[in-house]
Amino acid sequence: MYGVDMKRTTLMLPDDLALAIEREARRRSSSIAKVTREALQERFNPPAGGRRAVPFANLGRSDHRHTARDMEDLLDEEWGRAGRP
């Protein structure tokens, strides 16, 4: 992990969250920094293949038959992700 460029940052966490991270680090025999990094990566990095699950995508009705089929293209247009890896 240290071969990768990293930026040091400081987080202010509620006591219960900080305690949960500390417990998980002890359970894994790992560092708090590594546990926090992994949790952030899991939340914010796209999975292999580059596509994320969009849990709210099936809510509501658009009354268009192509919406579900074209969901990825529609999200790319709306969120400005077109052309990104």
Report the C-alpha gap between 55 and 11 in whole angstroms. Answer: 27
Report the C-alpha gap between 69 and 58 in whole angstroms. Answer: 12
Neighbours of 75 (CB within 10 A): 16
Q: What's this model's pTM, rounded to 2 decimal places?
A: 0.52
What residue segments make up the domains of the chain, in order of their start?
16-47
Round to the nearest angstrom and report the end-to-end CA distance of the chain.
22
Query: In the chain, which residues have pLDDT < 70?
Result: 1-3, 46-62, 64, 80-85
Element (H, E) at 37: helix 32-44
Instruction: Give residue-wise pLDDT tens across range 34-53.
Output: 999 999 988 887 666 666 66
